[in-house]
């Protein structure tokens, strides 16, 4: 929990210190109130005696003298009211400040987690499933928030009630305080045993949450497949089993939790009965009026302190259980925060200026333990204004080249340079600002068509948006929507067709005005005529700007006009050149051309 404090701003640390101070005032005020109540009860017990002489009150070994019993009760009631107001205000303000810090702390940790996630590459994120990441942002952060408020409130109030209650009890009646020699060890042993049982159960419970989230996500994302193969019953059984396992663990944890509280209450009540019983026996032999009054006052005050000490123990145990759950959540959140990016965020004076790409004997594999490279000895260059086409069968490594250009992955050998600068030394902001990588399956965010386009360039004007949508051949369907660019887009663009999403994504790439544009099979859902129009528009739009255009595809027609075409197979370049050259010189390229265009057009 202390590690979280470094993620709090200086302002929130000061506020938490203020909450701590106010909590101390609250505890001391309420403990003093018990002293005043005990003395008032003792004075009232003497109401049958004449009220005609001075009254001495002993509070924490300090003696106060009053003219009469009535005057003593009046002043004690005034003190009672003053400290009650102070304690209540202190409690209220401390609770408000602690709540504010816990909420602000959770927000700051969530923001830090999101910021850190945004710096991780896809390879880094492959360690964590979507369900795990969602759980970290929701359930785990909420439990950390609960842990923070418990730490700031219960973890302060509990020990203070326990320590100050014990000190005040010793000052009130040393003989009766011997009960704590039995009570406190009993309560401590109970808490230790409970902690040893409940801690692992809470850890298992968190894992069960991940499992439920995973099953839920699979059922939602795979709904079409599940329905197609009549898997509803099987998936329901899997979900019910995950839910059942969570229920069993959760029930065990809460049963142990409640059993602990019941034992603590039992021990406390037995201690209170013992105190009252012993005091009752002693009171029978008291004949002195002053001593009788002081005994009644001490017993009343002492039983209150027993309750305060018990409340302290309960609060500490409650906080320990809450922190046990928070500890698991903190560990899970820091699993992501402690994950060092495979590709660090670079701040450098080396920028992307022209967009010249050079791959020099580049090899790559996804896992170090793998004995086979995904790309092997890849070399090529793309100068500003040139178009590079990349074609090859599925799994030949085409998309991997796109990801290497975008610096999503690191090559295991060779060099990748942009404008004569090694890609790993280029400023990250400049790199990603000047590269537009458009995927085959683009992801659109919930909002409007316009808001999605502005993600690529927040400063784009309405004219820029209109122009980009025309170049991407997107305006032909956008214009048919009632609200046109303000048309609502649902999460992941599920209310749009594949071709519509691809064209919006291409418009995003255009509106960004990059130095390098990479189309990773991003026209696969378009018909021949629309695809040809889009590629021609892109070529014309960026002709004067001389951008580097890389087109990755499985269709010959998409790259027939390219300045250079790479033919990939099993991660290796098996041919390069213009379309006409490859038709005559490369067997694989010719076979692809014949299968798509026919013998006469190949």
Strand partners, 64: 57
Find the mean pLDDT for residues 555-578.
90
Instruction: Decide: 389 and 554 in contact? Cβ < 8 Å.
Output: no
Q: Is 28 in the same domain as 72?
A: yes
pLDDT higher at 214 or 359: 359
Q: Is 361 in the same domain as 499?
A: no
Query: Who's near 88: CB < 8 A, 6+ residues apart?
Result: none
Could you say which of 337, 359, 379 is where a domain stops?
Answer: 337
pLDDT digits (tens, 9 = 90+) for 8-61: 778 888 998 898 899 889 888 888 888 788 778 777 776 656 655 677 777 766
Asked whether residue 214 is domain-assigned, the answer is no
**Gap between the Cα atoms of 571 and 591, Å rounded:** 19
pLDDT score, position 223: 66
Three-state secondary structure call for residue 363: strand
**Gap between the Cα atoms of 324 and 109, Å rounded:** 19
Report DSSP state, residue 138. Answer: I
Query: Who's near 450: CB < 8 A, 6+ residues apart?
Result: 465, 485, 486
Whether pTM exceeds 0.75: no
Say how many domains are in the chain. 3
**Gap between the Cα atoms of 268 and 273, Å rounded:** 9
Burial of 334 (0-12, 13-18, 19+ CB in 10 A): middle
pLDDT score, position 369: 73
Instruction: Reply yes or no on whether the pLDDT at 373 is more than 70.
Output: yes
The tokens of 254 are what? 């809460």
The tokens of 395 are what? 């799994």
Work out the pLDDT band at 75, boundaries 50, 70, 90.
confident
**Gap between the Cα atoms of 271 and 265, Å rounded:** 10
Find the mean pLDDT for residues 233-255.
81
Instruction: Reply yes or no on whether the pLDDT at 96 is more than 80.
Output: yes
Going from the C-alpha of 408 to that of each of 44, 506, 520, 573, the distances in angstroms are 80, 20, 14, 21
**Gap between the Cα atoms of 487 and 351, Å rounded:** 37
pLDDT digits (tens, 9 = 90+) for 286-318: 555 566 666 676 777 778 878 888 788 777 777
CATH number, domain of 331, equals 1.20.1560.10
Q: Is 409 in the same domain as 530?
A: yes
Candidate from 8-17, 226-235, 484-493, 495-504 with smallest mean pLDDT: 226-235
Instruction: Decide: 400 and 518 in contact? Cβ < 8 Å.
Output: no
Alpha helices for 45-140 (secondary structure H): 69-119, 122-125, 130-135
Percent of the chain topping pLDDT 70: 90
Work out the pLDDT band at 285, boundaries 50, 70, 90.
low
Q: Is 329 in the same domain as 366?
A: no
CA dihedral 260, 262, 266, 272 (to 10 degrees): 100
**Gap between the Cα atoms of 482 and 22, Å rounded:** 58
pLDDT digits (tens, 9 = 90+) for 387-429: 999 998 888 888 899 989 988 888 888 999 999 999 999 998 8
**Gap between the Cα atoms of 358 and 421, Å rounded:** 10
Tell me the residue length of the chain: 602
Instruction: Decide: 104 and 12 in contact? Cβ < 8 Å.
Output: yes
Could you say which of 285, 311, 337 is where a domain stops?
Answer: 337
Could you say which of 289, 311, 337 is where a domain stops?
Answer: 337
Asked whether residue 92 is domain-assigned, the answer is yes
pLDDT digits (tens, 9 = 90+) for 103-148: 888 888 888 888 888 777 777 776 776 767 777 787 788 888 877 8
**Gap between the Cα atoms of 572 and 395, Å rounded:** 11
Q: Mean pLDDT over all residues of the chain?
A: 82
Q: Is 270 in the same domain as 319?
A: yes
Query: Who's near 340: CB < 8 A, 6+ residues apart?
Result: none
Q: Is 556 in the same domain as 427?
A: yes
**Gap between the Cα atoms of 25 and 20, Å rounded:** 9
Q: Is 499 in the same domain as 424?
A: no
Instruction: Reply yes or no on whether the pLDDT at 283 is more than 70.
Output: no
Please give the residue range of the domain that contains residue 521: 343-434+516-534+547-602
pLDDT score, position 254: 80
Which of 480, 482, 313, 342 has its CA nearest to residue 411?
Answer: 342
pLDDT score, position 602: 54
Candidate from 227-241, 340-354, 450-464, 481-495 with smallest mean pLDDT: 227-241
Strands 516-520 and 548-553: parallel
Instruction: Reply yes or no on whether the pLDDT at 151 is more than 60.
Output: yes
Helices 498-511 and 528-541 meet at what angle, rounded to 10?
Answer: 0
Asked whether residue 540 is domain-assigned, the answer is no
Q: Is 52 in the same domain as 199?
A: yes
pLDDT score, position 278: 77
Find the mean pLDDT for residues 52-71.
73
Structure-token match 């001490």, residue found? 298
Q: Is 324 in the same domain as 464?
A: no
Nearest 5°: phi and psi at 346? -105, 130
Query: Who's near 323: CB < 8 A, 6+ residues apart?
Result: 1, 147, 150, 151, 155
Q: Is 74 in the same domain as 190?
A: yes
Q: Is 26 in the same domain as 89?
A: yes
Q: Is 528 in the same domain as 587?
A: yes
CA dihedral 173, 178, 181, 183 (to 10 degrees): -80
Find the mean pLDDT for residues 239-253.
82
Work out the pLDDT band at 282, boundaries 50, 70, 90.
low
């Amino acid at each position: 929990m202390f590690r979280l404090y470094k993620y709090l701003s200086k302002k929130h640390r000061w506020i938490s210190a203020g909450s701590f101070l106010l909590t101390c005032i609250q505890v001391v005020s309420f403990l003093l109130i018990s002293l005043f109540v005990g003395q008032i009860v003792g004075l009232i017990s003497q109401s049958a005696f004449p009220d005609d002489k001075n009254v001495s009150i002993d509070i924490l070994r300090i003696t106060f003298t009053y003219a009469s019993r009535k005057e003593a009760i009046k002043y004690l009631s005034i003190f009672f009211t003053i400290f009650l107001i102070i304690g209540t205000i202190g409690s209220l303000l401390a609770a408000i400040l602690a709540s504010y810090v816990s909420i602000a702390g959770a927000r700051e940790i969530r923001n830090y987690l999101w910021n850190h996630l945004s710096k991780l590459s896809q390879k880094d994120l492959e360690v964590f499933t979507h369900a795990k990441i969602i759980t970290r942002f929701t359930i785990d952060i909420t439990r950390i928030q609960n842990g923070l408020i418990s730490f700031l409130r219960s973890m302060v109030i509990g020990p203070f009630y326990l320590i100050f209650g014990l000190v005040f009890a010793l000052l009130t009646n040393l003989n009766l305080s011997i009960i704590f020699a039995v009570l406190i060890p009993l309560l401590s042993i109970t808490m230790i045993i409970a902690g040893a049982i409940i801690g692992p159960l809470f850890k298992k419970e968190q894992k069960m949450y991940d499992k439920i989230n995973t099953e839920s996500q699979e059922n939602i994302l795979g709904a079409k497949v599940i329905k197609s193969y009549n898997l509803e019953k099987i998936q329901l059984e899997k979900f019910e089993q995950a839910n059942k396992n969570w229920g069993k663990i959760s029930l065990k944890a809460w049963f142990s939790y409640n059993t602990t509280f019941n034992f603590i209450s039992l021990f406390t009540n037995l201690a209170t009965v013992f105190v009252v019983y012993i005091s009752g026996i002693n009171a029978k032999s008291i004949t002195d009026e002053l001593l009788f009054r002081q005994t009644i006052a001490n017993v009343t005050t002492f039983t209150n302190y027993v309750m305060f000490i018990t409340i302290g123990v309960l609060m500490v145990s409650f906080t320990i259980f809450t922190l046990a759950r928070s500890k698991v959540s903190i560990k899970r959140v820091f699993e992501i925060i402690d994950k060092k990016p495979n590709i660090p965020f670079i701040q450098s004076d080396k920028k992307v200026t022209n967009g010249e790409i050079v791959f020099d004997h580049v090899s790559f594999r996804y896992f170090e333990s793998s004995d086979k490279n995904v790309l092997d000895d890849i070399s090529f260059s793309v100068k500003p204004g040139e178009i590079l086409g990349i074609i090859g069968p599925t799994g030949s490594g085409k998309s991997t080249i796109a990801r290497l250009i975008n610096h999503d992955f690191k090559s295991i050998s060779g060099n990748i340079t942009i404008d004569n600068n090694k890609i790993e030394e280029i400023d990250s902001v400049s790199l990603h600002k000047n590269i537009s990588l458009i995927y085959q399956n683009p992801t659109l965010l919930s909002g409007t068509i316009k808001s999605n386009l502005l993600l690529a360039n927040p400063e784009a004007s309405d004219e820029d948006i209109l122009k980009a949508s025309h170049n991407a051949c997107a305006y032909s369907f956008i214009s048919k929507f009632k609200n046109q660019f303000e048309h609502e887009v649902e999460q992941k663009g599920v209310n749009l067709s594949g071709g519509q999403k691809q064209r919006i994504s291409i418009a995003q790439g255009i509106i960004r005005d990059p130095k390098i544009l990479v189309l990773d099979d991003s026209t696969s859902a378009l018909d021949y005529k629309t695809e040809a129009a889009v590629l021609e528009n892109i070529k014309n739009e960026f002709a004067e700007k001389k951008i580097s255009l890389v087109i990755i595809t499985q269709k010959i027609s998409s790259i027939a006009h390219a300045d250079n075409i790479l033919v990939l197979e099993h991660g290796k370049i098996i041919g390069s050149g213009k379309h006409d050259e490859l038709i005559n010189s490369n067997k694989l390229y010719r076979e692809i051309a014949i299968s798509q265009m026919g013998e006469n057009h190949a």
